[in-house]
Structure 1
Amino acid sequence: MTHPDAWDLGALPPLTPVARRRPVALAQPGTAVVAAPYAAAELDLASPDADAVVGLAAGPAGGAPTALRARRAAGRTWLELEHDGTTSRHESRRHARSPRAEALAVTLTGSLATAWTREAGTWRARAVLDLAELRSREPATTPDPFDADWLAGLRAEPGADRAGTFGQLGLRDPHLVTHADGTAYDGGDGLLLLSATSAGPGGFGTGHTSLWSLDPTTLALAHRGDLFFHRTDRAGVLGDHATHVVRDGDRWLVATSTWGDFDVDRNPHVSMTLAVVPAGTDLLHGSHVLDTVPLPAPTGPGPDGTDDTDDTDGTDGPAPVGTWDPHLVRDDDGTWLLAFVQATLFFVFHPALAAGPDPTDPAGWTLRAAATARTACEGPSLLRTTDGWRVLASHGRDGRKDAEGAAATYPVLDLDLREVGRLDAAYPTNLPWPTLARTAAGPLMIGFDSTPAGGPLLGYGTHGDLVLQRPAEG
Structure 2
Amino acid sequence: MSFDRRTLMRGAAVAGLAGVALPGVAAATGLEFRIRHQYRPFDLIAPGFVQYDAPARAGAVTTGVRPVAPFCTVLVRSSGAVAAGLVGDGTAVLGRYSAGAASIEVTVGGTTTVVESVAAELPEGAGFAVVVNENAVTVLADTGAGWRPLLTNRDGVRALIDLRDPRVLRGLSYGYEGATGQVRAGYYGQAGVRDPHVVQYADGRPYIRDGKLYLTLTNAGLGFFQQAHWGVWTLDLANPTRLTQVANLFFARDGVVLGDHAGQIVIDGDEFVLAMSSWGDFNFTGVHVRYVRTRANVLSGVHVLPTRRMPLPTDVSSWDPAMTRIDGQWHVAFVESPAQSPAFVFHPALARGRTLERLAPVGADLTLDQTEGTIIQRIQGQWYVLASDGDARVYRKYDLAMRPQGTLNAPYGTNIPHPMVFRYRDRYWMVTFEGTQFAGPVLGYGTHGDFIVMTE
TM-score by length of 1: 0.82
Quote how far apart the aligned CAs of 1:418 are. Answer: 2.4
Shift of the 465–119 alpha-carbon distance from structure 1 to 2, 3 Å rule, reads: farther
Q: Please say if residues 328 and 338 of structure 1, whose CA atoms lie closer than 8 Å, have aligned partners that are also in contact.
A: yes
Structure 1 position 165, deviation (Å):
0.8
Q: Which residue of 2 aligns with 1:352?
A: 349
Deviation readout 1:31-80 (Å, 9 max, x if unpaired): 2352111111111235xxx221112125xxxxx34211111123432212
Aligned match of 1:312: none
Q: Hey, what's the Cα distance between the residues in 2 that align with 1:126 and 1:42?
A: 15
Q: 1:166 aligns with which of 180, 188, 200?
A: 188
Amino acid at match of 1:366: A
Are 2:404 and 1:419 aligned?
A: yes
Q: Separation in 1 of the partners of 2:345 and 2:286? A: 13
After superposition, what is the alpha-carbon deviation per residue over 1:412-458, rounded to whole angstroms, capped at 9, x for unaligned?
A: 11123222121111111000001112234832210101111145211
From 280, 290, 309, the counterpart of 2:305:
290
Question: CA distance change for structure 1 residues 196 and 154 in 2, over 3 Å: closer, same or farther?
Answer: farther
Matched, 1:445 2:440: no
Q: 1:158 Cα shift?
A: 4.6
Q: Where does residue 222 of structure 2 map in the other structure?
A: 201
Q: CA 1:84/1:151 → structure 2, altered by over 3 Å: closer, same or farther? A: same
Highest RCO, 1 vs 2 (Cα 8 Å, sep ≥ 6): 2
Q: What's the counterpart of residue 147 of structure 1?
A: 165
Q: Which residue of 1 aligns with 2:20?
A: none
* Alignment-derived partner of residue 432 in structure 1: 417
Cα distance in 2, alignment partners of residues 98 and 434 from structure 1: 44
**Counterparts of 2:243 and 2:48 in 1: how far apart (Å)?**
15
Partner of 1:378: 372
Q: Does 1:273 align with 2:297?
A: no
- Match runs of 1:1-150 below 5 Å: 10-31=28-49, 32=51, 33-45=66-78, 50-57=80-87, 64-93=89-118, 96-99=119-122, 102-131=126-155, 135=158, 138=159, 142-150=160-168
Distance 1:79 1:380 in 2: 39
When residues 180 and 441 of structure 1 are mapped into structure 2, their CA distance, relative to the original with a 3 A threshold, is: closer
Q: Which residue number corresponds to residue 303 of structure 1? A: none
* 1:99-124 CA distance string (max 9 Å, x none): 46821111111121111112435222
Please show how residues 312-391 of structure 1 align to structure 2 within 5 Å. 320=316, 322-332=317-327, 334-346=328-340, 347-359=344-356, 361=357, 364-386=358-380, 388-391=382-385
Higher strand proportion (structure 1 or 2): 2
Write the letter of the residue equivalent to 2:318. Answer: T
Distance 2:307 2:279 in 1: 14
Q: Which residue of 2 aligns with 1:263?
A: 283
2:137 touches 2:157 (CA, 8 Å); kept in 1?
no
Change (3 A) 1:29 1:155: farther
For 1:261 and 1:146, locate their aligned partners in 2 and report how far apart those are by CA, in whole Å: 10
Identity of aligned residues (%): 36
Q: How many residues align?
A: 406
Code of the residue aligned with 1:167 in structure 2: it is G
User: Normalising to structure 2: TM-score of the pair?
Assistant: 0.85
Q: Which amino acid aligns with 2:411?
A: A
- Alpha-carbon shift at residue 151 of structure 1 (Å): 1.5
* Corresponding position: 1:250 with 2:270: yes
Any stretches of 5+ residues in structure 2 without a counterpart?
1-26, 52-65
Aligned-partner Cα distance in 1 for 2:245–2:143: 24
Structure 1 residues 134 and 120: alpha-carbon distance in aligned structure 2, compared to 1, 3 A threshold: closer
Q: Distance in 2 between matches of 1:11 and 1:419?
A: 15
Q: Report what 1:313 is aligned to.
A: none
For 1:248 and 1:12, the matched residues in 2 are separated by: 32
Q: Secondary structure of the residue that 1:17 maps to in structure 2?
A: strand
Distance 1:353 1:178 in 2: 18
**Residue equivalent to 2:6:** none
The answer to whether the Cα contact below 8 Å between 1:53 and 1:70 also exists between their aligned partners in 2 is: yes
- Does the CA contact (< 8 Å) of 2:349 and 2:402 recur in 1? yes
Q: What SS is found at the alignment partner of 1:168?
A: coil
User: In structure 2, what is the Cα distance between the partners aligned to 1:98 and 1:426?
Assistant: 43
Contact 1:114 1:129 in 2 (8 A): yes
Unaligned runs of 5+ in 1: 1-8, 59-63, 300-318, 400-406
Give CA-to-partner distance per residue, 1:249-277, whole Å, 9 cap, x none: 0100000000001022xxx2211111110
User: Could you tell me how far apart the structure 2 residues matched to 1:394 and 1:92 are?
Assistant: 41
Separation of aligned partners in 2, 1:283 and 1:12: 37
Distance in 2 between residues matched to 1:386 and 1:298, nearest whole Å = 30
**Does the aligned pair in 1 maintain the 2:377–2:422 contact within 8 Å?**
no
Deviation string, structure 1 residues 210-251 (Cα, Å, up to 9, x no partner): 0100011211111101100112xx111111000200000010
